[in-house]
Structure 1
Amino acid sequence: MNLQFSPTNQNHINVIQNAYQFASKNLLEVLLKENELMGHLMSVKRYLLLHQGDFITQFMDACEEELAKNVDKVLPMTLENLLGLTLRLSSAKHDPYKDDVHCELLTYDLVTQMSKIMNNEEEYWQSHDRLDLNGLECFAFRYEVKWPVSLVLNHIAISKYQMLFRQLFYCKHVERQLCKIWKENSIAKKFSPQAAELYRSAFTLRQRMMNAVQNLEYYMMIEVIEPNWHIFIQNMNKVENVDEVLSFHQDFLDSCLKNCMLTDTTLLNRSIFKLCNICLKFCEFIQKSQRFFLDAELKSMVCDSNDEENSDSDVDFSSQKQSESSMVPSDTFSERVKRFDLEFTGILIGLIKQINDVASDNPSDRFINLVHRINFNSFYNQQIDKLCAKDSML
């Protein structure tokens, strides 16, 4: 039909809307049927949201040494080769879209990437130099697709997936390091009673760290991502045009980012990364201390039987002093563990208080669930009360 614009005749509006609905419905069929959009979305979930557990474990085993280097020394080709190897050795080998996954080393940490996405300050980030980071802090998966799937999995959407991935991946790394020192703690059985006694407070702190990190992971993956993914899939089963697909996908990502505490760069997220970093420093300290204690114990075993008791006491003292001297010369081992304990507890209490403040303003969000998980026995309530009492006395 012939269309002419007239201020008094609105017949052309219905014609344009019908044409749009026809084109959008056909494009939706091309996306869902010919290009299998849902298959691509499942692949993104497997790799960028750590849904494929065996693959992530094997990949981290293979790449841990490479990613521990400074980011400028990490070889992207090595990561790509290890990625291809682990994709084919794990159950991910059955995924028809596994070849769309690639490794990427970004030039900024997660907090910077969040600000870049949320504040749209592109010129600011381009004007700053690369930070002194290791490969783990810069690593992310990239998922490459062609048109028309790129309408949904566009650059901004993949960047949001990467933000979720980087937080989950970093927490998973921290959990692995805590598990590693848990396994290595069996070495303490070989220490003398005096040396083994020093490790009891360290074992307790390690378990508290493990509890916090594992519950943080569980909260993000099970209480945030999975329920939102379920809602997203339900909505996708009744979409009628591409605009609805884009809207539901954006709602899913934004809800995950918000409830995983990734949209507040000044409060919650910085506290989470401070928490992870103090756990990593503690793991490094314990590993160094264990190696020194073990060396000292082995030296004591080769002493003469007449001097064995004296050598044991000297080993305990010297190993205690030297193991900490690599960290803070003025501290003993027990004092150093106590400092880690105070710092970890302070950061965790600060995080809990921040979550409570945010949850009080947004009661519909899931933030408070994380507090209930970490503070399940009200242990940290007692610590908060003590701090409040001290503040009131000042």
Structure 2
Amino acid sequence: MATLDHKSPNVLLQSLCCRITGKSEAEVAHQFQYAVRVIGSNYAPTIERDEFLVSEKIKKELLKQRREADAALFSELHRKLQSQSFLKHRWSVLYLMLSLSEDPRKPSGRVGNYGALFAQALPRDAHSTPFYCTRPQSLALAYGDRSAGLSASVGTSGISSLGVYTLNGPTATPQSLLASQAPQSAAGVQPLGSRLAWALPVSCHPSSALATLAARPTLAPPLGPPVPSSRATRPRRDGEVSEPALVRDILYVFQGIDGKFIKMSAQDNCYKIDGKVVVCKSLRDTGSRLSELGWLHNKVRKYTDVRSLDRAFGLVGQSFCAALHQELKEYYRLLSVLHSQVQVEDEQGVTVCTESSLTLRRLLVWMYDPKVRLKTLAALVDFCQGRKGGELASAVHSYGKTGDPQMRALVQHILSLVSHPILNFLYRWIYDGELEDTYHEFFVASDPNVKTDRLWHDKYSLRKSMIPSFITMDQARKVLLIGKSINFLHQVCRDRTPPCKITPASTSADTPKDAAELLSDLEGPFQGKIDAAYFDTSKYLLDVLNRNYLLLEHLQAMRRYLLLGQGDFIRHLMDLLKPELMRPATTLYQHNLTGILETAVRATNAQYDNAEILKRLDVRLLEVSPGDTGWDVFSLDYHVDGPIATVFTRECMGHYLRVFNFLWRAKRMEYTLTDIWKGQMCNARLLRTMPELSGVLHQCHILASEMVHFIHQMQYYITFEVLECSWDELWKRVQQAQDLDQIIAAHDTFLDSVISRCLLDNSSRSLLNQLRAIFDQIIEFQSAQDSLYRSALEERALRLQFEEKKQQREEEEGQWGVTAEQEAEEKKRIQDFQDTIPKMRSQLRILTHFYQSIVQQFLVLLMTSTDESLHFLSFRLDFNEHYKAREPRLRASLGANRGRRPSGI
């Protein structure tokens, strides 16, 4: 061998030709030239590089030449060669040997055929063309690269992850199929027995499988000794097609190719034996039944050919096509083994169909399981038409709910391939926050037009049609929330510190096998991964918001300032603002009001709040309408930005503004009634000397008491039953919240509850209008009472002044206190004042009547409301049934509501 190292490749190739043929250099000139052309060719492979089939072909050629000993020696040498790893392209070497053993001088024969195939089979590089890019041109060799574990010494075929495709090692060919090849059995020829994994169940020995199939009542008789052909039992008519010829046609039909006698009928959409062909009825019927496999094959193949070239079909769709291609590949392997049983050459090299052990009835038995699998694939293709992404995965998953273990295993394998891209999307999303869904296959959708301030609410959403059926809605919501939290931390909080417990993306499902194992227990590892990422990410996000952005403190500040929870601050602010707010709204200046706000903060306990909170507190003036005073346009404001604006959105701040205006107006009524009561208490002593006013003052006291009672009950309802109860519920939910969405939902529920129970929603518009009318009556009553007291105090002052002058003249001058003229003027003025008292009494009576009528209507509306808390408010407002006695509708409403009062109350 050392001398050969220095020889050129041509010399070595010529020596190899001589060794193989056993002839001299001159005699192998043709083979040498052909070998040089083949080795120098550069074509992509169009047939499968199947070492097993080539070795079987070589052994057949040796057996045909009656060289059984050489065949046995070749088999032993090939087995030893397979155990060595130094030779990587054994198939190419064996194919070269087979091609060189032919005589190229034959006009038409196997040499030209194998030469062309061999020239096409040499790859351009170390990697062959993907198995789905080309279609087998010959049944002798199916297409697609076999895995390294598939060899002549291992009787496995197909996908290692599915036991359906696996046999228990190499097995001998069934004797029934070798009956016509008795001389070959000594050489150990076994092409069929070790290649029928696509048709046999797991751990099914071929001989036992044949016995099982033979026991099926709907199939052909058992595969025992060769069944005599139809020609042996029935004389064949002239021109009648033989069964071997039909077998040959059927094998072509199996792969969707029209045969000589069986062709596709476009009208009937099926393969049919030509009506002009003479064939017995039994063979025609059996051929028709077998031809269904060709139609099923075409259906699946057409779908894969069209969809494989469609990029918009997405990664999930391409995985589905790859799974179908893989199934078709195993189907082609079976067909190539079946075809090798019937292909025999005559002396001229022309392929003919002769008597063989493979009949239509045996084909019917052997193709039973492949037919079931193809039917499943065809039905799956029909069901998946027009679907992509997660919707396609759901369609495949729905077909796995069957009691047939083989069909379930097939669908489960396809599902593992289809769901692999989805799981990769999912893991990149929940671990890195990355979403590269070019073809919109994932169930999480992203809107690139949404700005950062609306990232949490609008940027990401669930695409419900793409949620696979094996992922629950709760899992999908958690998946959405995890990735959204990561992006919120990165883009809004500017925090790129990964949560310490989150698993890196490298631990995701890297292969379809991992995906299959994960999908087999969705309540176990899959749920565990999602839960772990969800809890770690959400907890970290809430910690960042509470620690760095004071989320909970801002929430409490809303309650204290915008919902008037800081009582001392609100009362002092009203006292300071009263002179300003009494003026017309057009004369107010915001900087003056801001200064008063800062004074109120420094003078109350509000000064001890966080500086971050106080700097956000501000004054806001609403839109001014004609006739408005400062009370009507004043409002407190709270500035929010950054991450906390996700919770306190613009809509939420609008709700807070509405609630503040309502509470501020109610607080003003309380403040006004306090001033009214103080006026009555202070002026009661002063006006004792004017007994003519006693009736009017008593009327004022009664009306003021009614108003005070009403406002106190409303304040109690708003403060305790609405604000405090709602706030307590909010705070409990916030403390128990596991993610930001739960905090936002609790906050929104709190605001909705406050708005609806404070009569600020659309359904309570009539109640709110009545309440505002009552507030207006209180303001009007204050004006009327102030006018009354002003007139009375002026009259009192004039009377005191007259008495003082009278007493002064009597004591100092010694004269009469008044003259007749002065006394007459005084009496006239007193009479004029007394004449105004009935007018005052009438005005108060009208005011009282109007106020009471509004309150009565308000009570009726309360009683007809569906909210029971409003029913109880009406009971408190009319605790002594004063309004019930005046209003018939109220009596009816009270009676009706008492009838349906809950038994527990």
Given the two structures, how large is their TM-score scaled by the length of structure 1?
0.83
| 2:864 aligned with 1:350 | no
2:769 equivalent among 270, 289, 297 = 270
2:730 equivalent among 203, 216, 232 = 232
C-alpha contact 2:623 2:633 (8 A) present in aligned 1: yes
Counterpart secondary structure, 2:615: helix
1:61 aligns to what? 575
Q: 2: distance between equivalents of 1:383 and 1:310?
A: 47
1:81 aligns to what? 595
Q: 2: distance between equivalents of 1:321 and 1:190?
A: 20
Q: 1: distance between equivalents of 2:781 and 2:833?
A: 17
Q: 2: distance between equivalents of 1:382 and 1:314?
A: 44
Residue identity matched to 1:194: E
2:749 aligns to what? 251
Alignment of 1:267-346 (within 5 A): 267-303=766-802, 304=806, 317-319=831-833, 321-322=835-836, 332-346=839-853
Q: 1: distance between equivalents of 2:424 and 2:885?
A: 69
**Structure of larger gyration radius:** 2
Residue identity matched to 1:177: T
Distance 1:28 1:294, change over 3 A: same
Q: Structure 1 or 2: larger helix share? A: 1
Q: 1: distance between equivalents of 2:691 and 2:704?
A: 20
Q: 1: distance between equivalents of 2:844 and 2:669?
A: 18
Q: CA deviation at 1:153?
A: 1.5
Q: 2: distance between equivalents of 1:168 and 1:320?
A: 41
Alignment of 1:23-62 (within 5 A): 23-62=537-576
Q: CA deviation at 1:14?
A: 4.9
2:649 equivalent among 154, 174, 181 = 154
Distance 1:12 1:388, change over 3 A: same
Q: 2: distance between equivalents of 1:368 and 1:387?
A: 12
CA RMSD in angstroms, aligned pairs only:
2.6
C-alpha contact 1:87 1:93 (8 A) present in aligned 2: yes
Residue identity matched to 1:196: S
Q: 1: distance between equivalents of 2:743 and 2:890?
A: 49
2:620 aligns to what? 104
Residue identity matched to 1:259: R
The superposition leaves residues 70-107 of structure 1 with CA deviations (integer Å, 9 ceiling, x where unpaired) of 22211111110000110011011111112211010111
User: Which shifted more, 241-250 or 299-308?
Assistant: 299-308
Q: 2: distance between equivalents of 1:134 and 1:168?
A: 17
Q: CA deviation at 1:371?
A: 1.1
C-alpha contact 1:219 1:370 (8 A) present in aligned 2: yes
Q: 2: distance between equivalents of 1:28 and 1:316?
A: 75
Alignment of 1:90-239 (within 5 A): 90-96=604-610, 97-107=613-623, 130-185=625-680, 186-191=682-687, 192-239=690-737
Distance 1:30 1:182, change over 3 A: same
2:13 aligns to what? none
Q: CA deviation at 1:221?
A: 0.9
> Gapped runs of 5+ residues in structure 1?
109-129, 324-330, 390-394
Q: 2: distance between equivalents of 1:371 and 1:158?
A: 31
C-alpha contact 1:55 1:92 (8 A) present in aligned 2: yes
Q: 2: distance between equivalents of 1:311 and 1:12?
A: 104
Q: 2: distance between equivalents of 1:202 and 1:380?
A: 19
C-alpha contact 2:618 2:636 (8 A) present in aligned 1: yes
Q: CA deviation at 1:309?
A: 9.4
Distance 1:278 1:321, change over 3 A: farther
Q: 1: distance between equivalents of 2:867 and 2:724?
A: 20
Q: 1: distance between equivalents of 2:672 and 2:826?
A: 30
Percent identity reads 22
Q: CA deviation at 1:262?
A: 0.9
C-alpha contact 2:859 2:890 (8 A) present in aligned 1: no
Given the two structures, how large is their TM-score scaled by the length of structure 2?
0.37
Q: 2: distance between equivalents of 1:386 and 1:193?
A: 40
Q: 2: distance between equivalents of 1:314 and 1:12?
A: 101
Q: 1: distance between equivalents of 2:870 and 2:714?
A: 11
The superposition leaves residues 364-387 of structure 1 with CA deviations (integer Å, 9 ceiling, x where unpaired) of xx2223212211222111121398
Distance 1:387 1:354, change over 3 A: closer
Q: CA deviation at 1:312?
A: 8.0
Residue identity matched to 2:697: Y
The superposition leaves residues 341-385 of structure 1 with CA deviations (integer Å, 9 ceiling, x where unpaired) of 001101111111111111xx344xx22232122112221111213
The superposition leaves residues 276-325 of structure 1 with CA deviations (integer Å, 9 ceiling, x where unpaired) of 011001101101110111111121223346789988875665335557xx
C-alpha contact 1:188 1:196 (8 A) present in aligned 2: no
Q: CA deviation at 1:224?
A: 0.6
The superposition leaves residues 31-86 of structure 1 with CA deviations (integer Å, 9 ceiling, x where unpaired) of 12221211111111111111111100110000111112222211111110000110
Residue identity matched to 2:843: R
Q: Which has the higher contact order (CA 8 A, sep 6+)?
A: 1
C-alpha contact 2:884 2:890 (8 A) present in aligned 1: no
1:326 aligns to what? none
User: Which shifted more, 294-303 or 21-30?
Assistant: 21-30
C-alpha contact 1:188 1:290 (8 A) present in aligned 2: no
2:489 aligns to what? none
Q: CA deviation at 1:25?
A: 4.0
Count of paired positions: 355
Residue identity matched to 2:705: Q
Residue identity matched to 1:238: Q
Residue identity matched to 2:569: F
2:120 aligns to what? none
The superposition leaves residues 112-144 of structure 1 with CA deviations (integer Å, 9 ceiling, x where unpaired) of xxxxxxxxxxxxxxxxxx454222112211111
Residue identity matched to 2:886: Q
2:483 aligns to what? 19
Counterpart secondary structure, 1:237: helix
Distance 1:311 1:268, change over 3 A: farther
Distance 1:319 1:178, change over 3 A: farther
C-alpha contact 1:321 1:333 (8 A) present in aligned 2: no
Q: CA deviation at 1:249?
A: 0.1
2:874 aligns to what? 371
1:114 aligns to what? none
C-alpha contact 1:268 1:355 (8 A) present in aligned 2: yes
C-alpha contact 1:297 1:315 (8 A) present in aligned 2: no
Q: 1: distance between equivalents of 2:885 and 2:748?
A: 40
Q: 1: distance between equivalents of 2:860 and 2:890?
A: 12
Residue identity matched to 2:614: K
Distance 1:79 1:92, change over 3 A: same
User: Which shifted more, 302-311 or 250-259?
Assistant: 302-311
